[in-house]
Amino acid sequence: MTFDAATIGMLKLGVWETLFMTFTSSFFAYLIGIPLGIILIVMDKDGIYPVPWLQKILGLIINLLRSVPFIILLIMVMPITKIIAGTTLGARAVIPPLVIASAPYVARVVESSFKEVDAGVIEAAKSMGASAMQIILKVLLPEARPSLLVGAALSVTTILAYSAMSGFVGGGGLGDIAIKYGYYRYQTVMMFITVAILVIIVQVIQEVGMKLSRMSDKRIK
Amino acid sequence: MQSEEPIIQLVGLGKEFFTSSGPIKALDDINLSIERGEIFGIIGLSGAGKSTLVRCINYLEVPTSGDVLFENQSLAAMSSRKQRLARQSMGMIFQQFNLLAQRNVLQNVCFPLEIANVPKKEAVKRAMELLELVGLKERSKAYPSQLSGGQKQRVAIARALATNPKILLCDEATSALDPNTTKSILGLLKEINKNMGVTVVVITHEMTVIEAICDRVAIIDQSHIAEVGCVADIFSEPKSKIGRQLILGDAAEQAIRFGSNRRIRISFDGRSSFEPVLSNMILACKVPVNIMHAETRDIGGTAMGQMVIQLPEEEIDQTRVLNYLKTAKINFEEVKDYDL
């Protein structure tokens, strides 16, 4: 194996595809996951707007989706993928299943961030006559911000790991290269290189997430 | 005092919690009137139901029976939107301050004004005025984590007053503070009551808080109101068992259990505490008495005291002492074993 321009070009494309899949999916997963997380916490029987039956059903669906292995889900949702992405092949085709798989995960991560918000502060807002919507927008979201950012780093790295399975539908990305060259063609060096790049990407995402969280947290003196 | 009608009336108020081990009565048939402009104390041991009671006043807890009248308006009959509006006329402060950790001092005080849709400029102006009132104008850009407990409670007070409430509910507002800070916070509450005419309801388990600022007090015990009255009256003559326990404290209870002879409790009102009552009695009756417990407190400027003395052994001496107290018009009562 030689490191010619073609190989480097392939790795570059792999990095780009991985980042594209990860961040696009993360964006949509949060777009769906944040409202779901809010519903989970707000409609709980002890929440600020209790609708326990709906909350329970939603919790059940989320757990169901989270139990399905991603590789199975990828196949199961192919008809939906076809409608949304217009194709069942390539990086674009990986995004719908990635979103479907990670939105429930994000919802749980977001829920746990909201759970950390001091109940006393919510009670204080209630005592001032705040509505449920005002509590969500002015108390829950801003007070949970540092924890939400830590959660985001966690979610994005998880989505990155899922995206490595995209090779199965010709999605490309670093995971795809690692399997194709490292496993099928016994090019161990290639496998190590792609894994090393993935490690660096995960490190950067994790560090940035933690740093943003710390910077935004006013509880630290 | 603007009018005669009480600002808050609790009518047959009850609250039951339904737990897995069956229903628990937190409050049972509570009837109370809180007058406009007064500082009203509610005291009880932990678990007596006082925190639930204060949360029923602004409907943070919905009572399971009875009603709350705020300025003669039934909270039970209001829609939840109207209840939220009513809450803007009732400020509340908490033991743990409950400030928004991600907002600075100024933003915290502006918070209730944002909820009430007050324009930002106006809100900031009002907030700065209040921060000046509580003495924290210079710390407006600080975050709660940079403040001491006392400062946090001052911010919480400023925040609670932002919407010009008619009543301020204080739930164990000084219980997390040291004695000196407690004193300054209580002073601030008294000032607010006097200068702004805000009715103050104080929930506490500490008698010292009641005696420092309250006009009237309700003693709550096991979900019921044990007694209500002027602080001075209740301190000089607590009628309920729990009242005696709270006022005399455990020390008195211990002391009283030592003695074997007849014991009496003498209550001093403002008048008698300036006279050497006991010395006079001993000189007049020529009998020794044993002081088992004594305490004097300053209630709204007058000295109020309690003293438990052990009577001499001879019955004739005992009668002499009792007769002396009767003629001197000093309040006393006999203490029975475990009568606390």
State the alpha helices, DSSP H only, in B63-115: 80-87, 105-115
Question: Please, are residues B228 and B217 in contact by the beta-carbon 8 Å criterion?
Answer: yes
Three-state SS for B254?
Answer: helix
Task: Give me the pLDDT at residue B58, please.
Answer: 93
Interface of A with B in 70-129 (CB under 8 A): 118, 120-121, 123-129
The answer to whether the CB atoms of A121 and B85 lie below 8 A apart is no
Min distance B102 CA to chain A CA atoms (Å): 5
- What would the mean pLDDT of A29-56 be, rounded to a whole number? 95
The answer to whether the CB atoms of B145 and A130 lie below 8 A apart is no
Enumerate the residues of chain A whose CB falls inside 8 A of the CB of residue B90: 127
The model's pTM is 0.84
Min distance A161 CA to chain B CA atoms (Å): 32
* Rg for chain B, CA atoms, rounded: 23
Task: Give me the pLDDT at residue B306, please.
Answer: 77
pLDDT of A51 > 50? The answer is yes
Min distance A152 CA to chain B CA atoms (Å): 19
> Which residue, among A45, A128, A143, A220, would best test binding to B if mutated, counting the most B CBs under 10 Å from its CB?
A128
CA B35 from chain center: how many Å? 14
Enumerate the residues of chain A whose CB falls inside 8 A of the CB of residue B101: 118, 121, 143, 218-219
Enumerate the residues of chain A whose CB falls inside 8 A of the CB of residue B92: 124, 127-128
Tell me how long chain B is.
340
Per residue in B57-107, pLDDT (tens digit) is 999 999 999 999 999 999 999 999 999 999 999 999 999 999 999 999 999
| Nearest CA-CA partner of B57 in B100, B21, B114, B8 | B8
- What would the mean pLDDT of A196-218 be, rounded to a whole number? 94
CB-closest option in A118, A123, A134 to B115: A134
Enumerate the residues of chain B whose CB falls inside 8 A of the CB of residue A216: 102
For residue B270, CA distances in Å to B47, B278, B299, B305 come to: 33, 15, 9, 8
For residue B192, CA distances in Å to B166, B179, B195 come to: 11, 20, 5
Min distance B56 CA to chain A CA atoms (Å): 11
Q: What is the mean pLDDT of each run of 10 residues along chain B (340 residues)?
A: 76 91 90 95 89 93 94 93 94 96 97 96 96 95 95 97 96 93 95 95 92 94 92 84 77 57 77 73 83 76 77 83 84 66
Task: Give me the pLDDT at residue A187, please.
Answer: 86
For residue A15, CA distances in Å to A18, A71, A198, A202, A209 come to: 5, 21, 8, 12, 20
The answer to whether the CB atoms of A127 and B84 lie below 8 A apart is no
The answer to whether the CB atoms of A121 and B98 lie below 8 A apart is yes
DSSP B96: T
Per residue in A127-169, pLDDT (tens digit) is 999 999 999 999 999 999 999 999 999 999 999 989 888 777 7
Dist. CA B340–CA B243, nearest whole Å:
9
A207 and B CB contact within 8 Å: no
Task: Give me the pLDDT at residue B38, please.
Answer: 95
Question: Please, are residues B27 and B10 in contact by the beta-carbon 8 Å criterion?
Answer: no
CB-closest option in B91, B102, B116 to A142: B102
Per residue in A170-195, pLDDT (tens digit) is 778 888 888 888 888 888 888 889 98
Q: Tell me, what's the ipTM?
A: 0.88
The answer to whether the CB atoms of B87 and A220 lie below 8 A apart is no
Among chain B residues, the shortest Cα distance to A120 is held by B98
Among chain B residues, the shortest Cα distance to A130 is held by B115
Min distance A148 CA to chain B CA atoms (Å): 13
The answer to whether the CB atoms of A142 and B114 lie below 8 A apart is no
CB-closest option in B87, B98, B104 to A118: B98
A138 and B CB contact within 8 Å: yes
